Copies of this chain bind each other. A is one copy, B any other.
Amino acid sequence: MSAEIICVGTELLLGDILNRNAQFLAIELAKLGIPHYYQTVVGDNPQRLYQVIETAVNRANILIFTGGLGPTPDDLTCETIANFFGAPLIERPEIIEDITNKYAKRGRTMTPSNRKQALIPQGAEILPNPMGTAPGIIWEPRQGISIFTFPGVPGEMHGMWRETAIPYLKKQGWGKDIIHSRTLRFWGIAESALAEKVASYLSLSNPTVAPYSSKGEVKLRVSAKATSEAEAEKLIQPVEKQLQDIAGVSYYGSDSDSLASVVGDLLRNAKQTLSVAESCTGGGLGQMLTEISGSSDYFWGGIIAYDNSVKEKVLGINPDDLKEFGAVSATVAEQMAIGVKERLGTTWGISITGVAGPNGGTAAKPVGLVYIGLAGPERLVESFEYQFGATRGRTLIRHLSACNALNSLRQKLLH
């Protein structure tokens, strides 16, 4: 028994998009212990897709398709599969109803072309799509062959996989030996430095420990193979604890934690509130904080002071200081933090002012220079200077600025 992942979409052949769906499914199949030996990408072309199915049924039992379920004429995955196995397509009224309702909720009416999405092979089960209009199918067209189809949209595909496909596969007996992982998250330490600190753990076999890093964050993935999640946890937890102790304050959370959620929990527990004053991040810090549902418990809001006139008029920055030190300076960062804290009446105020680039850099104030200001209880006022370097690019410089601002507050709240 083995699976094959078949991703359908001309945009993959043109290189328009990265095949993240194949990676997602590969990881999920590994977790369930389902072997998978081949991945195939084919365009929106029924003849070629037909041949791909022909090849796949001769070397795999579980065929997992992504893409080609949309309402447009070039979305042909379901039709081609039905055609290959010689099954007629049946219009399923419950799908029509579901699409109609979803459109109604969005104040739209279903178009004739959506009817196409309600056609699924005779004998197939509907694989519900809670988010989008395109449902998938689960189908055993012949003995020993299982078909799963998913839309190409990752968000929709992930939900459908977790809510329907996993339970179905577990009922079939898969996932007895599972791989369970914990991702430990670190901020303010380089991957190489962390890897050296925990070097002896990187050669463990069960659990395994693997370092990753992206956009300034470093992660350690601790993965255990066991008969149950509980058994896996027994293997993971002691190692997890040791890794946390070794890393110290640079460890900030695990799995779905984010700097924003961790800071939020610390503020909620301390019954304290936060406001932000943003220049070069233009609202990115506020967005990060409010990405967390329930952030209204501690986050009151902020002032986006992109133009200096807003720094003066709304935040009350001293115009002479703006002239003397410039908008990108420790002094202005501190005044911004104080200004927003006082005007919004919160326990804490964080500010960010910097040169995100690519333009606007000078010898004295190069692209990547960012000041973070922090104002808190008992007249606490601090600022931090960062030199992210121009090569990181505007988007990453802004992201690193917001994350470091949150990390500065996190460290204060821990004391």
* Residues of A in contact with B (beta carbons under 8 Å apart): 10-20, 22-30, 36-45, 48, 51-52, 55, 59, 70-74, 102, 105-108, 111-114, 130-131, 153, 155, 179, 181, 190-193, 195-196, 199, 202-203, 210-214, 221, 223, 275-276, 278, 280-287, 289-291, 293-296, 299-307, 309-310, 313-314, 343-345, 356-359, 368, 386-389, 391-396, 398
Chain B residues with CB under 8 Å of A280's CB are 290
Shortest CB-to-CB span from A216 to chain B, Å, is: 10
Task: State how many copies of this chain the complex holds.
Answer: 2
Assess whether A41 is in contact with B38, with CB atoms less than 8 Å apart.
yes
**What are the residues of chain B within 8 A of A51 when measuring CB–CB?**
59
Do B19 and A15 touch across chains, with their CB atoms under 8 A apart?
no
Q: Which of B39, B193, B388 contacts A12 (CB 8 A)?
A: B39
List 8 A–B pairs whose Cβ atoms lie within 8 Å, in order of A's numbering: A12-B39, A13-B36, A19-B23, A37-B45, A72-B191, A278-B283, A280-B290, A290-B306
Q: Are B192 and A113 in contact (CB under 8 A)?
A: yes
Q: With contacts A26-B12, A304-B303, A307-B301 known, is A284 near B282, CB below 8 A?
A: no
| A297: nearest chain-B partner, CB-CB | B307
State which of B22, B72, B131 has its C-beta within 8 Å of the C-beta of A393: B131
Among the listed B102, B283, B386, which residue makes an inter-chain contact with A284, where contact means beta carbons less than 8 Å apart? B283
Judging by beta carbons under 8 Å apart, are A27 and B39 in contact? no
CA distance A155 to B394 in the complex (A): 12
Residues of chain B contacted by A392 (CB below 8 angstroms): 131
Q: Find out whether the CB atom of A290 lies under 8 angstroms from the CB atom of B282.
A: yes
Interfacial chain B residues near A23, Cβ < 8 Å:
12, 15, 17-19
CB contacts (< 8 Å) of A211 on chain B: these are 72, 74
Q: Which B residues touch A40, using CB under 8 A?
A: 38-41
The answer to whether residues A302 and B290 also contact, given A14-B223, A23-B19, A37-B43 and a CB cut-off of 8 A, is: no
With A301-B303, A313-B345, A314-B301 given, is the CB distance from A26 to B48 under 8 Å? no
